[in-house]
Each structure stands twice: as structure tokens, then as C-alpha cells.
Amino acid sequence: MLLMVGLLRPASANEVMDTLQVHGFLSQALVITDENNFFGPSSEDGGSLQFTEIGANASLRPHEDILLAAQVISRRAGGDRDDMEPKLDHGVIDYQAFSDSTTRFGTQIGRFKNPFGFYNQTRDIAFTRPSILLPQSIYFDRTRSLGLAADGVAIYGEKRLPIGTFRAQVGAGKPQVGDDVARTLSLDTQPGTLDGDMSYIGQLLYEHSDGQFIAALSAAQVNATFESSDPLWNGGQMRFQPWVLSLQYNEEYWSLTAEYALRRTSLNEFRIPQANGSVTGESWYLQYTRRFSRDWQWLLRYDVLITDRDDRSGRQFEETGAGPAHARFAKDLTLGLQWNVHPRVLLAAEYHYVEGTGWLSSQDNPDPNTEKYWNMLLFQASWRF
């Protein structure tokens, strides 16, 4: 890449600085639940303010075919204030090898955002989300680090045809596997760390009539190894293989979106037999958004998560004594409202009626005796520059 950059015609310092763009955002939410906790002690003392997102990004073009881009995020979603430590969200050298009126082809090197579903690549910016919370059955916040980004190489391409536009992206790299993933897999109680291995992801997207209809298929194989000083746990392997089908239809004042996912998660090569195994989960949601007036939008969504397709009700899980049956699924009916007060200011509110606790984090709910039926209110203010 450095050799290629050196062979290109250099731009003057003034030309380069003219391409510099810097943007940022800040979001603060209040989360209130009647039962269970989400993003902090939301069921206590009037709710939780432990959902904060702060970010800044910059991009620069040293050459017409090369883009340098990076974003730093400081995010707290429950947990301690230490979680607010700024982290590199993405940072890439993007080289566009070929481009004309109908075709585009290029590559990204660095920490690239995973092309997963419709919203994963922009999920941290409130202005790009249809609601305060994305559908938790697809875009898990409790294992956010796993799907967010990878360190490696991605190749992308676009082709415009009379029947529509096709876009594709494939990537290989090491995923960001944080403590949230180990906690979800119940590995946090064992001495050791879960580290990402070489993994793969890809997405094929079709867009018809300038975005009136959009369809995408995303797939990945995410690999990780559990390293421990205990020989019984050392060297265990995690494999996560999701498939996501995404569909969206857009009219001037409304949009209909649906996504369906199958997720296979397996643990292998642990010397303790009961630690090994696999499970296939299922997720889907249907979402209707309506734009009214110029700056207002409301949303209605039904979101379903099944942790194990072979135990949809969670009854077998409960019979083993591992926890309540409702911890293995979640059915979420959401009603949301957004108001763009100003191009740089967004206010949002939403209500969730939830059956099940399948996407709740054990960090917020250390007591497994959670309530099956619960309600949640969220209010969020966001600013960008």
C-alpha cells in the first residue's frame, strides 16, 4: 500500500487539507424500567443515566483515490465509568483502485466496520438509527464488541446496471472480542481471556430504483480462542456463524423494514466435556417507520429473539436448573418517536413492552431471577457537528 501511494501523483499540502473533514456527536439517554435492569440500575430511583455515546471522526484525502478515515468512541452502556475510556471504533486506509460512471472497486486496510445487516456500520450514531435502540435480536448490545469491527483487510465493489445497483464487501481480520462476549458465554467465571482469531465476513446488497427497494445478505464466521492458565480451560475454541437476510421498501413518507437471522454458536476443544456444545438461534423483526411533518418520525416494531431453535420456549433450559425459561427468548413490541429539532439536534423517546429477557446482560442483572414481563421507557437527546 505504501509503495502504491508513493507511485501516485502527490497532492499539495493545501489540496490535501482542503479535503479534511471532522465530525462528532454526543448522545445521552435516560432508561426507565418497571422490572429488570437495562444499561444500569434502570428499575431503581427514577431510572438510569448510564447510556452515553460520545464520538469524533475525521477523514482526509492525500490523493483522489485514497481516503484516510478514523473514528474514536467513548461509550457507556451500564457498567462502570471506566467503560467510557475512548476506543478506536474504526481506522482505515481506503484505496479506490477503479472508478467510473457504473463501476467502483477498492480495498480497506486497518480496523474496518463489519458489513452486517442494514445498521451495523453506523450503529453508534443516533442520527443514523431509526430508534434509540436497534432491534436487539439482530444488533446485540450485550455482545456489541463481537460484531462491531475487525482488524484486517476488506474488499468492496459496486456495479450499476439498468435493473439496479449491486454492492459487495468481503473482509478478513481479527474481531474485537471484549469482556461482554466472555460474560455471555459464561466464560467470565474462569481464569483466562477470550481473544479473537482470523475471521471472515461478507455482504451482498441490491438496491432498486434509487433505494426504493433494498435487499442484503450478510454472513460471517467469527473465531476466538480462550487462553487460560488452567489446562482444563486453555485452548477452547468459539465459533459464531450468523446469516442475516435484510429487506427494506421505501416510499416518500414511510418505510417497511424486515431482517431475519440464523446464528450458530459453538464451543469446542475444552477438556471439560460439559463446556463444549453448540446452539442455533433465530432472530427476526418487522419495522414500520412513518415520516410526518418535516422533522418528525414515528416507529412501530415487533422484534423476536430465540436463543435455541430446538428449545423455543426455554423449558428444557429451565429443567436443567440453568435459569428461568424466559431467559432464552425475548419478544419486544416497540413504539418510538423522533423529533429533529435542528439539523444538529435530535430528541427521541420510545416505549418497549417485552416478554422474556433473552437479550438482557448479566452485568446489569446479576440475579438470574428476572421478571418475564416488563416495560421500558427511553428518552434520548443527541447533538452532532
Q: How many domains does the chain have?
A: 1
SS3 at position 325? helix
- Dihedral over alpha carbons 106, 260, 348, 74 (to 10 degrees): -50
Least confident of 15-19, 87-91, 93-97, 215-219: 15-19
The answer to whether residues 241 and 221 touch, using CB atoms and an 8 Å cutoff, is yes
Cell of 242: 450468523
Inside any domain, residue 70: no
Question: Which pLDDT band holds residue 147 (cuts at 50, 70, 90)?
Answer: confident
Q: pLDDT value at position 290?
A: 98
Task: Give the Cβ contact number of residue 255 at 10 Å.
Answer: 20
Residue type, 120: N
Mean pLDDT of 213-238: 93
**pLDDT tens digits for 37-77?**
999 999 998 999 999 999 999 999 999 999 999 999 999 99
Mean pLDDT of 279-297: 96
Inside any domain, residue 26: no
Inside any domain, residue 118: yes
Bridge partners (DSSP) listed for residue 150: 112, 175
Residues 6 or more apart in contact with residue 115 via CB below 8 angstroms = 121, 154, 169, 171, 201, 202, 203, 218
Q: pLDDT at residue 250 above 80?
A: yes
Q: pLDDT value at position 7?
A: 46
**pLDDT tens digits for 71-111?**
999 999 987 777 789 999 999 999 999 999 999 999 999 99
Q: pLDDT value at position 6?
A: 53
Q: What is the pTM of this model?
A: 0.92
Inside any domain, residue 12: no
Inside any domain, residue 36: no
Question: Which pLDDT band holds residue 2 (cuts at 50, 70, 90)?
Answer: very low
For 133, list phi and psi in degrees, rounded to 5. Answer: -105, 130
Inside any domain, residue 307: yes
Inside any domain, residue 235: yes
Q: pLDDT at residue 3 above 60?
A: no
Mean pLDDT of 124-138: 95
Inside any domain, residue 162: yes
| Percent of the chain's residues with pLDDT above 70 | 97
**pLDDT tens digits for 341-357?**
999 999 999 999 999 99
Least confident of 147-156, 228-237, 263-272: 228-237
Mean pLDDT, rounded, of the chain:
93
Q: How many residues are there in the chain?
A: 385
CATH number, domain at 282?
Answer: 2.40.160.10
Residues 6 or more apart in contact with residue 330 via CB below 8 angstroms = 136, 137, 303, 304, 305, 354, 355, 356, 357, 358, 359, 360
Which residues span the domain enclosing 260? 93-384
Q: pLDDT at residue 335 above 90?
A: yes
Q: pLDDT value at position 326?
A: 97
Least confident of 156-160, 188-192, 211-215: 188-192
